[in-house]
Structure 1
Amino acid sequence: MTVHSSPIALGSFAQRLIAVALLVVAALTLWYLRSLVLLVFAAILFAIVLRSLADLMARPTGLGEGSSFVVATVAAMLTIVLFVAVLGTQLQAQLLELRDRLPELLAPVEDWLGSGDVGEWLVERAEAMVSEGAVMSRIAGLSGWAVTLLANVVLVAAAGLYIGFRPDLYRGGLLMLFPRRSRQGAAVTMDALGSALQRWLMGQLASMLAVGTLIFLGLWAIGIEAALALAFIAGILEFIPFFGPVLALAPAVALALAVDTTTAIWVLLLYLAVQQFEGNVLNPLIQQQAVSLPPAVTMFALLAFGVLFGPLGVLLATPLAVVCLVVVKQVWVGRVLGEPVSLPGKE
Structure 2
Amino acid sequence: MDIADQKPAPRPRKELTYIEKVWHTVAIVALLVVVILIARVAFNVLLMVLAATLISTYFHGLGNIIQRKTGWSRKVAMSISVGGSFAIVGVLLWFIGARLQMQVAQLSHTLPSTISAAREKLSETPIGQQVLTYFDDNSGKIFITAQHFFSTSFGVLGNIYIIVFLALFFTASPSVYKNGFMILIPEKKKELWQCIMNRVNVSLKGWLKGMLLSMVLIFVMLTIGLTIMGIPAVLVLALFAGMLKIIPNFGSLVAMIPGVLLALTVSTNTAVIVALIYIVSQTIVSNIVTPIIQNKIINLPPALTIISQVIMGTLSGALGIILAVPLLAITVILADELYVKKINVVKRDVNAENVPLTD
TM-score band by shorter chain is 0.7 to 0.9
In structure 1, the partner of 2:211 is 204
Equivalent in the alignment of 2:45: 36
- Any gaps of 5 or more consecutive residues in structure 2? 6-33, 124-128, 141-150, 347-359
Q: Confirm or deny: 8 A CA contact 1:242 1:299 kept in the other structure.
A: yes
How far is the alpha carbon of 1:107 from its aligned partner?
1.6
Asked whether the equivalents of residues 44 and 153 of structure 2 are also in contact (C-alpha less than 8 Å), the reply is: no
1:267 positional shift: 0.4
Give the whole-Å Cα distance in 2 for the aligned partners of 1:67 and 1:91.
34
Q: After superposition, where does 1:43-192 map in structure 2 within 5 Å?
A: 43-114=52-123, 148-192=155-199
Q: Is the 8 A contact 1:256 1:264 kept in 2?
A: yes
Change (3 A) 1:309 1:296: same
The superposition leaves residues 184-204 of structure 1 with CA deviations (integer Å, 9 ceiling, x where unpaired) of 211111111111111111111
Residue 242 (structure 2) aligns with: 235
Deviations 1:215-274 (A, max 9, x none): 111111111121111000010001101110000000000011112212111101111111
- Give deviations 1:120-179, integer Å, cap 9, x for gaps: x9xxx9xxxxxxxxxxxxxxxxxx989932222111111101101221111110111112
- Decide whether aligned partners of structure 1 residues 148 and 272 sit closer, same or farther in structure 2, where only a CA change above 3 A counts: closer
Q: SS at the partner of 1:337?
A: helix
8 A contact 2:203–2:298 mirrored in 1: yes
Q: Is residue 30–residue 37 contact of structure 1 (8 Å, CA) maintained in 2?
A: no
The offset of 1:289, in angstroms, is 4.1
The aligned counterpart of 1:278 is: 285
Q: Is the 8 A contact 1:189 1:331 kept in 2?
A: no
Tell me, in whole angstroms, the C-alpha distance in 1 between the residues paired with 2:228 and 2:206: 33
Aligned to 1:214: 221
- Cα distance in 1 for residues equivalent to 2:79 and 2:69: 16
Question: Which of these residues, 266, 275, 282, is aligned with residue 268 of structure 1?
Answer: 275
Select 1:324's aligned residue among 290, 315, 331: 331
**Structure 1 equivalent of residue 256 of structure 2:** 249
- 1:84 is displaced (CA, Å) by 0.8
Tell me by how many angstroms 1:52 deviates.
1.0
How far apart are the structure 1 equivalents of 2:38 and 2:63? 35
Cα 1:338–1:145 shift into 2, 3 Å: closer
- Structure 1 unmatched runs, 5+: 3-24, 126-143, 340-347
Moved more, 28-37 or 306-315: 28-37
Runs of 4+ residues over 6 Å off in structure 1:
25-28, 144-147
The TM-score, its normalising length taken from structure 2, stands at: 0.75
Counterpart code for 1:109: A
Is the 8 Å Cα contact of residues 222 and 238 (structure 2) preserved in structure 1?
yes
Report what 1:15 is aligned to: none
- Return the alpha-carbon distance in structure 2 between the equivalents of residues 52 and 27 of structure 1: 37
Distance 2:41 2:227 in 1: 48
CA displacement at 1:65 relative to structure 2: 2.7
Q: Secondary structure at the match of 2:232?
A: coil
Larger radius of gyration: 2
| TM-score normalised over the length of structure 1 | 0.77
Q: How many residues align?
A: 293
Distance 1:179 1:29 in 2: 27
What's the counterpart of residue 202 of structure 2? 195
Q: Aligned letter for 2:85?
A: A
Between the aligned residues of both structures, percent identity stands at 28
- 1:230 and 1:252 in contact (8 A); partners too: yes
What SS does the corresponding residue of 1:101 show, helix, strand or coil?
helix
Aligned counterpart for 1:313 among listed residues 306, 309, 320: 320
Contact 2:152 2:317 in 1 (8 A): no
1:286 is aligned with what amino acid? Answer: I
- Give the partner amino acid of 2:266: V
